[in-house]
Structure 1
Amino acid sequence: MKKGIFWNYLQQKKTHFMIEEEKTYPCTDIQKDNPLRIIYFNNKLSIEIAHFLTDGKGAMLFFQDLIEEYVEEKYFSKSSRNRNFGNVDIIENKGKNENEEKIEIKDKDLIKNKKMIDFPKKKGDKIKNFENKSFLENKKKILEKNEEIFGNYDEENGVKESKYVDLYEKYMRKVSKETTIKSAFHLPIKILEKGQYHITTGEISVDNLKMESKKYKTTIGKYLLAVYFKVLLDRYSGAKNPIVIGVPVDLRKIFEEKTYRNFFINITPSVDASLGAYSLSEIITYLDNYFALKITKKEFYKSIYKAMNPMRNIVIKSVPYLIKRIFFPFIFDYYGERGYTTGFSNLGIFEIDKKYEKYLKGFRFLPPPSKRCKIKMGVISDSKKVYINFGNLTADYDIERDFFVYLRKRGIRSKIVTNYF
């Protein structure tokens, strides 16, 4: 990301991706000049992607391509057949800003510190350093699949042609603005020193969660969101402002679009604790109705208009970036963080070709740290397990404990993994 006169802008990097050892807490070291990090720690590999590059779904699509090519080259190429490798444990994780992603892969004998990823180089009619036939066969398919994030590439002339379409601009309609809560309840907990980020992950059987959510005639994602609301409402029953959970919604399915770029909107279900105690059934009924009313094209036209309209303002456009950046933190807080108590992101099922599944051990999807939303929750799953991940900027773990204890009392056991003990 480069500084422009009126706005920041993205410039294509000409250097290779670098693989470096992870030496900091997750999601705390991504930079504007290096918005895609590939890092490892022991047998864990992670990628962190800045939000200005893509959202959660876009990062997951990118990682699916990356891991399939990695596993294909490592386990199925001729050069690797006689080698003995450990398993791969993939973990996905959000980065520093909202909706930045981090994905982690475990592999015991993966890489050396700061090793470059060498991409195939053309040499005559052959690809230098790549003898894997399946790689060559899949190359065309991969380029087509990634066209929307990388643009078209003319190999004969060595020209890259961008076909990127701003989908927010495409679906911009002049409608009434969306109304949201301006000031939500915020957790009264002191945050840790800068650079620390505590993670708690619960690994739970998909079947157990599916059985429990069916009792309430709802989905696993909505059930987990309802439990999160329940835990917060029970702990902070005296909250004067509404408890609001920001929930990112992928717009690709809503508008039938395919893109690796950002295309999401946050919705904000909220519950007023001052009205009294809520049962889980009441919360699920509220969420069912809220989602039915909110997740529609017409409602998202209002959300897109609210987000895009200021950027089209002539006065705002003409203000130099150096002046804009002074006010950005206040604007972001006023229109964003101040209106959320916490965040809940559900990426759903991480889908990958079945032949690669046995090399994958598990996932993580870590939400980004945020000073206002001190604790956030991210969910991702595979065919057997759901991985519930809490990112916490404090030394208070009562909410995480309450959440998993609540599930356990209903017969849903979790394997808990943390980075702070």
Structure 2
Amino acid sequence: MSKQKEEYYWHRLDNAAKVFPAVRSSSNSSVFRITAKLVDEIAPSILTAAVEKALAELPTFHVKLRKGLFWYYWERNFQSPIIVEDSTYPLRRIDKRQSNGFMFRVTYYGRKINLEIFHALTDGAGAMVLLKSIVYFYLKQCHPDVITVNELIAETGFSQHALDEDSFLRLRKGSKRSKSPKVVPAYQMKGTRYFGERVDVTQGILPTMGVVALAKAAGVTVTVYLTSLLMYSIYQNNYKYYAEDKPIVFSVPVNLRGFFQSNTIRNFFSFVTVSLNFYEQDYTFEQVLESISHQMKDALKVENLTERIAYNVNAERNLAIRFIPLFLKNILLRAIYSRGEKGYTSTISNLGQIKLPQEQLPFVERFESLNNLTKHQCFKVCLCSLRDYMTVSFVSGMEDKDVERYFFRFLAEKGLDVQIAGNKGDEDEIL
């Protein structure tokens, strides 16, 4: 295809993406980070070449965000990404003037490759495809005689149409709801909050099978176990000192690809909501586990996921909404998003077990993930695993670390070997 024709390449934002350009602000960057920590120090020149090769293989990410009359859209970006050493706080807003128009940034520090990406471009699972492709091309240049398997081609057959699909459109039929779900004000964490871009990251590196064993013994999934522990930690160290008749409410993002057989690398996620009102009852940890497990099982039924997605897609495609000018849509979306944000205490995201070809495993130590904070959520948790180790990352805009301390001490008292890392240099104080 000639460059002249490529200049006309564009595609619409997917259903989940449309809200992010409207709501990003100084208090909400809508940026998340995933990191691959390698065994050896990162070589910047090799990393730059690896990013360029990965983008050539994944043109879905080789785009810039443009503003139309009615919607934002993606258009081919002919610039090259800028790769720099990580030197400040994570999850900052992406300024396209500093990124050659790309809505992601790749940085490095020591042995880490960081991919920070604007959520309108993709979700965690889609971003992981890009990061793993970067890691593949990086290791391929460092160890050409050892690294041979390109996982993207091996697993998906490399169908660009499948990778670029807006999978939400499959689920636009079937919604019978006439109104949006009711938002109940949630408990908001209390404490001194930082101003500006500062965020604290506290990470616990845990034995994967140890966490799995704890969850199995309790008869629940790992996500349910750690979600319940987070809720109980907030109750014990923050909530119970304030007499508020509000529930602790979590948003739990769900990767929809396994439910609806999709290989897309664009956004294809929804979220489930779990909550408990400790003002009404003094729950034990076991009772929290039982309640959260029941709520998750019900929310993850395919018919319930489909109903929620179909409502959102049909609302977007309503003619009365489609032809509202973009500046008015942005005002409407910001109001809806702000109202919805008040209904959550925090978000806990699980990227699950990250799989790599066997030949890459000796060169990669672990993966990490971080999620951005917002005005009403000054505290978020992300987790992912590689082989024998799970990384649980707390992202906080608050001074005190009582919840993190309780969370990791609880697991240590259950017999797990908990290693603490972070970006503050006071890891020894956490446990």
The equivalent residue for 2:165 is 165
Query: In structure 2, the residue corresponding to 1:246 is in which secondary structure?
Result: strand
The equivalent residue for 1:114 is none
- Alignment match of 2:213 (pick from 211, 225, 236): 211
Q: CA separation in 2, counterparts of 1:406 and 1:315?
A: 52
**Residue 294 in structure 1 maps to residue 299 in structure 2:** yes
- Alignment match of 1:225 (pick from 208, 224, 227): 227
The 5 A counterparts of 1:180-329 are 180-235=182-237, 236-237=239-240, 238-329=243-334
The 5 A counterparts of 1:9-408 are 9-31=73-95, 33-77=101-145, 134=148, 141=153, 145-148=157-160, 151=161, 164-177=164-177, 179-235=181-237, 236-237=239-240, 238-335=243-340, 337-408=341-412
Q: CA separation in 2, counterparts of 1:303 and 1:397?
A: 35
- Alignment match of 1:8 (pick from 64, 67, 72): 72
User: Greater Rg, structure 1 or structure 2?
Assistant: 1
Give 1:176 deviation, angstroms.
3.1
| Contact 1:380 1:388 survives alignment (8 Å) | yes
Question: Structure 1 residues 38, 219: CA separation in 2 closer, same or farther (over 3 Å shift)?
Answer: same
Give 1:64 deviation, angstroms.
2.0
Query: In structure 2, the residue corresponding to 1:274 is in which secondary structure?
Result: coil
Give 1:409 deviation, angstroms.
2.3
Runs of 4+ in 1 over 4 A off after TM superposition: 142-146
What RMSD over aligned residues (CA atoms) do the two structures have, in Å?
A: 2.4
Q: CA separation in 1, counterparts of 2:365 and 2:118?
A: 25
Question: Structure 1 residues 142, 17: CA separation in 2 closer, same or farther (over 3 Å shift)?
Answer: farther
Residue type matched to 1:415 in 2? Q
TM-score normalised over the length of structure 1: 0.78
Cα-to-partner distance string for 1:67-93 (whole Å, 9 max, x where unaligned): 12221221125xxx9xxxxxxxxxxxx
| Contact 2:71 2:326 survives alignment (8 Å) | yes
Question: Structure 1 residues 139, 41: CA separation in 2 closer, same or farther (over 3 Å shift)?
Answer: closer
Count of matched residue pairs: 352
Q: CA separation in 1, counterparts of 2:293 and 2:68?
A: 44
Same amino acid, percent of matched pairs: 24
Q: Which runs of 5+ in 1 are unaligned?
A: 82-131, 153-162
Cα-to-partner distance string for 1:20-55 (whole Å, 9 max, x where unaligned): 122321111423532121111233221112111111
Q: CA separation in 1, counterparts of 2:276 and 2:125?
A: 27
Q: CA separation in 2, counterparts of 1:212 and 1:141?
A: 36
TM-score normalised over the length of structure 2: 0.76
Q: Which runs of 5+ in 2 are unaligned?
A: 1-64, 426-431
Query: In structure 2, the residue corresponding to 1:15 is in which secondary structure?
Result: coil
The equivalent residue for 1:93 is none
Give 1:62 deviation, angstroms.
2.3
Q: CA separation in 2, counterparts of 1:298 and 1:173?
A: 12
Question: Structure 1 residues 307, 363: CA separation in 2 closer, same or farther (over 3 Å shift)?
Answer: same
| Contact 2:275 2:292 survives alignment (8 Å) | no
Q: CA separation in 2, counterparts of 1:346 and 1:410?
A: 21
- Alignment match of 1:419 (pick from 411, 418, 423): 423
Q: CA separation in 2, counterparts of 1:139 and 1:168?
A: 25
Question: Structure 1 residues 143, 5: CA separation in 2 closer, same or farther (over 3 Å shift)?
Answer: farther
